[in-house]
A and B are shown apart, each in its own frame.
Chain A
Amino acid sequence: EDKEEDESKEEDNGSQQNRASRRKNQQRKTRDGKKAREEGSQKKNKGKTASTKDQKESENKEKKTTKRGKEGENKQKKDRKSSTSSASSNSSDEESLSEEELAMLKEQVEQKKKLISTMRNKPWRMVKKLSVLREAQDFVEKFEGALGKGKGKKLYAYKMMMAKKWVKFKRDFENFKTQCIPWEMKIKEVESHFGSSVASYFIFLRWMYGVNLVLFGLIFGLVIIPEVLMGMPYGSMPRKTVPRAEQATAMDFSVLWDFEGYIKYSALFYGYYNNQRTIGWLKYRLPMAYFMVGISVFGYSLMVVIRSMARNANESTADGDDDNFIFSWKMFTSWDYLIGNPETADNKFASITTSFKESIVDEQESNKDENIHLRRFLRVLANVLIICCLCGSGYLIYFVVKRSQTFSKMQNVGWYERNEVEIVMSLLGMFCPPLFETIAALENYHPRIGLKWQLGRIFALFLGNLYTFLLALMDDVNEKLAEEDVVKNITHWTLLGHHNSSAGNDSTVTPPPLDPADVPRGPCWETTVGIEFVRLTVSDILVTYITILVGDFIRACFVRFVNYCWCWDLEAGFPSYAEFDISGNVLGLIFNQGMIWMGSFYAPGLVGINVLRLLTSMYFQCWAVMSSNVPHERVFKASKSNNFYMGLLLLILFLSLLPVAYTIMSLPPSFDCGPFSGKKRMYDVIQETIELDFPLFVAKIFSYVANPGLIIPAILLMVLAIYYLNAVSEAYQRANAELKKKMQMQREEEKSKRNNKASTNPMLQDLEDLLTPSTKTESTLKQAEDKKIESPNGTSPVRKPGRGEVLDGSPMAGGRGAAFTPPSRVFVTQPWTLGVRAPYPGQPGPWGHPLGPVPGRGRGQPCY
């Protein structure tokens, strides 16, 4: 900055001309603006356009200055000099300074400050930085006092400090937040060893755990706890008491294990709840709450699934277009420079290798071509085989369920007969997926697509299982309903008889209480269904864990330790270690969740069991994976969004909604158990609430809204809206694709342009500057040129000489001003055309051989 130069020269003429200073100011401003632009351009790295603009501007300036003539320039220079020096020396009589000068000075100081604050961003050597900094600081110190903004400075410093603190706090908070994400480290560890596909399962598991926690909170907070705290205690009424006949064995473990006995008559199941409209001193409307919670479990799940799907879709489109530099990014940005722990470093190496392998697999897969006909045939064959399997397993389940119904009518059947359904289903779940996998090997898909097929097939298997199971259950329920009618009559008559007899004796005396355990009761089909679901879930948990323990851990131990004394290599040969079965695990999870959704209406405690299950399986499976599994042979990258999982989950949520909705809407609830007993349908509870607890007009409104005449148009409207939105999104998609294409084109164009013109940019200059301290001179002289054009001045003749002189080794580079100039001013004038660079012969780029242009200057670094 030439101000310093001026300032250093003590020259004081007090005369100040407003006109001149105004002009100066103007010039200053334009220069500032230019500077800002320059900086922007520096950042954007588009040296070309910016520099042409700058050139234009500087040309303008030149014109102006030439018009004014040498004389005027000198004068102006002098004026400026005077103003600055007066500010420095005559700081005591500040009032004599005009406002404008003050403003100018302020600007100067600001500029210096800016330089100081951006200093750290300059890739200079420390030595240079230090010297430049010292100068700048001196300047600021000198003038800040003059401007009398010491106070402001303090405030400013305080503000800056607070801003810094705030940034730091935010960062810490981010760190804290990531630390709060449960199991993040565990999952990352798994990911680094097994690839993102395995990790995607665990992420999914974690997500599921979160959802279940919310459901658990809903059900426990709004249904179970109020019932336990405020409801009638155990034994007060028939539905809350174990029947007399079962009481002897009600505490036996085998009975409890089947969720009979005391467990059956607890708050975990539907039948325990009373149909009292309000309970406790809070007048808590339990049946209503039960109903609403049952609905909101589904509502919340639907909402969450769809929202996360939408978010995933957003994410996947958001960074979908940036896949131009997959390998480059992996190469240059994958190492985490914060790693200092050898173990983490190991993990990181493993994960980098895995990720490279993933990408390589993708790459290889994308340019593979083979015999299409053979593969097509194989794929069809595989599908046929798999459909056969599916049908077979479906039939098997149906058969078993039917048989179990006959078993259930017989007395004293064995353990196997009682648990036949569960055993068969678990066995199917265990053996079918591997079978599918072997068949899928015929198809030779890319592993990611293969995984999806596999998932779809196993899903179909489970779905078949689930639905046959449900159908059988429905048969069961219908039977129970028929049975219930009979029992109802009996109970009615019993109670009636009881009443009659007591009324006959003495009408004032209350009837002798019939022990609740003795009251004949209906089969309570809801509880039966609930028990069925709970049993299925528990057996599923057990089978999963035992499979992991035996199939993975024991096998791994066996392979590991028996290998020392075996006749062939166990690790490489037949048994080897197990791979982590992603598809099976994911589907197990999804299927299990479907059970929970279906069963939670009839067994509120089921969600609690599921939360426990997910929690333990998180730890257990993480451990099992790390301890006894080996990574897949072809590690592949999971698609970024696990929307496929979510889609399956949504499907099963919908499917599990159906039976529950059906039972709520069209089956009569049991007459003597559950919160809805005594009503014709379960949803009557809403009508009851509306009629009794709300003012009349609400009921009226409700009846209007429920009118089919309103509902059908509403549905129509929704359909139309869906159609419209779909059309819009399609249009957007097309526009998106178009844009992407355009961008690609642009890239190509840019490429070819660059081929023709090796353009430079300011950053290059900085780099060059860094590479050898000697090249500093170059930028300096450019600066000198700059200055010459911008504000030709007579005060520092040393600066005037052009490039040629400096090349000759003019001493000017050592001058104070050289080191002093802020780099942002360096690149103002010339667009670096080839012509300018001509003096450096044989240079591929502007900074090809930094030592070349100015040999002998600087320290002469051998390495460069």
Chain B
Amino acid sequence: QDCTFFTRKEILRLHGRYHEMAPNVVPMDYTKDPDVKLPMQLIINMPELKENPFKERIVESFSEDGEGSLSFNDFVDMFSVLSEMAPRELKAIYAFKIYDFNTDNFICKADLEKTLNKLTREELTAEEITLVCEKVIEEADMDGDGKLGYADFENMISKAPDFL
């Protein structure tokens, strides 16, 4: 419990949800520490994530093997980080991971374009997208290497008013 921002009850509820998704795979009691993982497909169909444009990325970022399968621990971890109580620093780290589509530890232009397309459902024209991406890089890139490292990202996002 102390590893997350949840109370015991909430964790149990989470487990209920986890169990619900695949009742035949997930055992009800976790005392024996079974090694069970759920595939991404199940996770992203949860109502909490269903509408999220970044659902695949979120799940991938939290899965231990990077392919989107979540063990229960990962699952709880995910909800803990996404919960309201998690501090901004922690969220920033995971946000960076989420936006880093190609997992090269930099948010580069391709990542930005992907993000933008997901955000706007590809309703912007190509030139608008390039304009926005260029602006983003220009704004946030502190070390001038044409992509955003974590330091840039953290610096930028820590000042954002809407980021919680």
In chain B, residues 68-82, which have Cβ atoms closer than 8 Å to a Cβ of chain A?
73-74, 76-77, 80-82
Q: Contacts A329-B162, A337-B52, A339-B52 known; A120 to B139 CB distance under 8 Å?
A: no
Q: Are B120's CB and A331's CB within 8 A? A: no
Interface residue SS majority, chain B: helix
- Whether A836 sits at the interface, judged by CB under 8 Å, is no
Q: Contacts of B123 on A, CB cut-off 8 Å? A: 349, 353
Q: Contacts of A716 on B, CB cut-off 8 Å? A: none
Docked Cα-Cα span, A43 to B60, in Å, equals 26
The contact string, 1 if C-beta is below 8 Å from chain A, for chain B 120-162, is: 1101100010011001100110111000011101111111111
Residue of B51, B159, B161 ringed by the most chain A CB atoms within 10 A: B51
- Whether A130 sits at the interface, judged by CB under 8 Å, is yes
Q: Identify the stretch in A121-129, A245-253, A384-392 within 8 Å (CB) of chain B at 4 or more residues.
A: A121-129
Q: Are B156's CB and A751's CB within 8 A? A: no
- Whether B59 sits at the interface, judged by CB under 8 Å, is no
In chain B, residues 45-100, which have Cβ atoms closer than 8 Å to a Cβ of chain A?
47-48, 50-54, 60, 64-67, 73-74, 76-77, 80-82, 84-87, 89-90, 92-97, 99
Residue of B53, B80, B143 ringed by the most chain A CB atoms within 10 A: B143
- Whether A98 sits at the interface, judged by CB under 8 Å, is no
- Whether B119 sits at the interface, judged by CB under 8 Å, is yes
Q: Smallest distance from the beta carbon of A700 to chain B beta carbons, Å?
A: 57
Q: Are B120's CB and A352's CB within 8 A? A: yes
| Selected contact of A324 from candidates B97, B139, B150, CB within 8 Å | B139
- Whether A421 sits at the interface, judged by CB under 8 Å, is no
Docked Cα-Cα span, A750 to B127, in Å, equals 31
Q: Identify the stretch in B2-10, B13-21, B36-44 within 8 Å (CB) of chain A at 4 or more residues.
A: B2-10
| Selected contact of B160 from candidates A117, A329, A845, A861, CB within 8 Å | A329
Q: Contacts of B93 on A, CB cut-off 8 Å? A: 123, 763, 766-767, 770
The contact string, 1 if C-beta is below 8 Å from chain B, for chain A 115-140, is: 01101111101110110010001000
Docked Cα-Cα span, A120 to B162, in Å, equals 22
- Whether A454 sits at the interface, judged by CB under 8 Å, is no
Residue of A121, A171, A337 ringed by the most chain B CB atoms within 10 A: A337
Q: Are A171's CB and B90's CB within 8 A? A: no
Q: Contacts of A319 on B, CB cut-off 8 Å? A: 161
The contact string, 1 if C-beta is below 8 Å from chain B, for chain A 132-168, is: 0100010000000000000000000000000000000
Docked Cα-Cα span, A188 to B124, in Å, equals 22
Q: Are A331's CB and B136's CB within 8 A? A: yes
Interface residue SS majority, chain A: helix
In chain A, residues 815-864, which have Cβ atoms closer than 8 Å to a Cβ of chain B?
845, 847-848, 850, 859, 861-864
Residue of A116, A319, A325, A862 ringed by the most chain B CB atoms within 10 A: A325
| Selected contact of A335 from candidates B52, B85, B87, B97, CB within 8 Å | B52
Docked Cα-Cα span, A322 to B139, in Å, equals 12
Q: Are B3's CB and A120's CB within 8 A? A: yes
Q: Are B135's CB and A363's CB within 8 A? A: yes
In chain A, residues 711-758, which have Cβ atoms closer than 8 Å to a Cβ of chain B?
750-751, 754-755, 758
| Selected contact of B67 from candidates A126, A133, A863, CB within 8 Å | A863
| Selected contact of A751 from candidates B60, B65, B142, CB within 8 Å | B142
Q: Smallest distance from the beta carbon of B115 to chain A beta carbons, Å?
A: 6
Q: Contacts of B121 on A, CB cut-off 8 Å? A: 349, 353
Q: Are A335's CB and B53's CB within 8 A? A: yes
Docked Cα-Cα span, A420 to B123, in Å, equals 50
- Whether A334 sits at the interface, judged by CB under 8 Å, is yes
Q: Smallest distance from the beta carbon of B65 to chain A beta carbons, Å?
A: 6
Q: Smallest distance from the beta carbon of A837 to chain B beta carbons, Å?
A: 15
Docked Cα-Cα span, A464 to B35, in Å, equals 80
Q: Identify the stretch in A10-18, A340-348, A607-615, A655-663 within 8 Å (CB) of chain B at 4 or more residues.
A: A340-348
Q: Are A129's CB and B3's CB within 8 A? A: yes
Docked Cα-Cα span, A334 to B164, in Å, equals 11
Q: Contacts A331-B132, A335-B52 known; A754 to B151 CB distance under 8 Å?
A: yes
Q: Smallest distance from the beta carbon of B103 to chain A beta carbons, Å?
A: 6
Q: Are B124's CB and A356's CB within 8 A? A: yes
Q: Contacts of A754 on B, CB cut-off 8 Å? A: 142-144, 151
Q: Contacts of A309 on B, CB cut-off 8 Å? A: none
Q: Contacts of A133 on B, CB cut-off 8 Å? A: 2-3
| Selected contact of A127 from candidates B50, B73, B132, CB within 8 Å | B73
- Whether A411 sits at the interface, judged by CB under 8 Å, is no
Q: Contacts of A431 on B, CB cut-off 8 Å? A: none
- Whether B112 sits at the interface, judged by CB under 8 Å, is yes
Q: Are B66's CB and A325's CB within 8 A? A: no
Q: Smallest distance from the beta carbon of B74 to chain A beta carbons, Å?
A: 6
- Whether A242 sits at the interface, judged by CB under 8 Å, is no
- Whether A764 sits at the interface, judged by CB under 8 Å, is yes
| Selected contact of B142 from candidates A126, A342, A356, A750, CB within 8 Å | A750
Q: Smallest distance from the beta carbon of A822 to chain B beta carbons, Å?
A: 13
Q: Are B160's CB and A332's CB within 8 A? A: yes
- Whether A327 sits at the interface, judged by CB under 8 Å, is yes
Q: Are B2's CB and A137's CB within 8 A? A: yes
| Selected contact of A325 from candidates B65, B132, B140, CB within 8 Å | B140
Q: Contacts of A850 on B, CB cut-off 8 Å? A: 105
Docked Cα-Cα span, A428 to B153, in Å, equals 55
Docked Cα-Cα span, A334 to B87, in Å, equals 18
Docked Cα-Cα span, A592 to B62, in Å, equals 57
Q: Contacts of A322 on B, CB cut-off 8 Å? A: 159, 161
Q: Are B51's CB and A344's CB within 8 A? A: yes
Q: Are A120's CB and B86's CB within 8 A? A: yes
| Selected contact of B89 from candidates A43, A360, A363, CB within 8 Å | A43
Q: Are A332's CB and B99's CB within 8 A? A: yes
Docked Cα-Cα span, A120 to B76, in Å, equals 12
- Whether A489 sits at the interface, judged by CB under 8 Å, is no
- CB-based nearest A residue for B112: A331
| Selected contact of A767 from candidates B96, B120, B136, B161, CB within 8 Å | B96
Q: Smallest distance from the beta carbon of A185 to chain B beta carbons, Å?
A: 17
- CB-based nearest A residue for B115: A331
Q: Contacts A120-B86, A766-B93, A861-B65 known; A345 to B51 CB distance under 8 Å?
A: yes
Q: Are B89's CB and A763's CB within 8 A? A: yes
Q: Contacts A356-B132, A767-B150 known; A332 to B159 CB distance under 8 Å?
A: no
Docked Cα-Cα span, A328 to B64, in Å, equals 28
Q: Contacts A116-B2, A331-B132 known; A863 to B65 CB distance under 8 Å?
A: yes
| Selected contact of A326 from candidates B47, B90, B115, B139, CB within 8 Å | B139
Q: Contacts A123-B94, A327-B136 known; A130 to B52 CB distance under 8 Å?
A: no
Docked Cα-Cα span, A331 to B153, in Å, equals 12
- CB-based nearest A residue for B66: A863
Q: Are B90's CB and A126's CB within 8 A? A: no
Docked Cα-Cα span, A617 to B80, in Å, equals 44
Q: Are A121's CB and B140's CB within 8 A? A: no
Q: Smallest distance from the beta carbon of B3 to chain A beta carbons, Å?
A: 4
| Selected contact of B64 from candidates A125, A130, A171, A342, CB within 8 Å | A125
Q: Contacts of A192 on B, CB cut-off 8 Å? A: none
Q: Are A45's CB and B155's CB within 8 A? A: yes
Q: Smallest distance from the beta carbon of B157 to chain A beta carbons, Å?
A: 6
Docked Cα-Cα span, A123 to B154, in Å, equals 14
- Whether A771 sits at the interface, judged by CB under 8 Å, is yes
Q: Are A771's CB and B128's CB within 8 A? A: no
Q: Contacts of A339 on B, CB cut-off 8 Å? A: 51-52
- CB-based nearest A residue for B46: A340
Q: Smallest distance from the beta carbon of B76 to chain A beta carbons, Å?
A: 7
- Whether A333 sits at the interface, judged by CB under 8 Å, is yes
A selection of 14 A-B contacts at a CB cut-off of 8 Å is: A117-B2, A120-B86, A123-B81, A325-B160, A327-B136, A328-B160, A332-B115, A333-B163, A341-B51, A363-B131, A751-B143, A758-B143, A763-B92, A862-B65
8 residue pairs, one from A and one from B, having the closest CB atoms:
A863-B66, A126-B73, A345-B51, A129-B3, A327-B135, A754-B143, A353-B120, A328-B140
Residue positions of B touching A, CB distance < 8 A: 2-5, 47-48, 50-54, 60, 64-67, 73-74, 76-77, 80-82, 84-87, 89-90, 92-97, 99, 103, 105, 112, 115-116, 119-121, 123-124, 128, 131-132, 135-136, 139-140, 142-144, 149-151, 153-163
Given contact pairs A326-B135, A328-B156, A848-B105, a sample of 7 additional A-B residue pairs in the complex whose CB atoms are under 8 Å apart: A45-B155, A125-B77, A130-B3, A331-B116, A356-B116, A754-B142, A763-B150
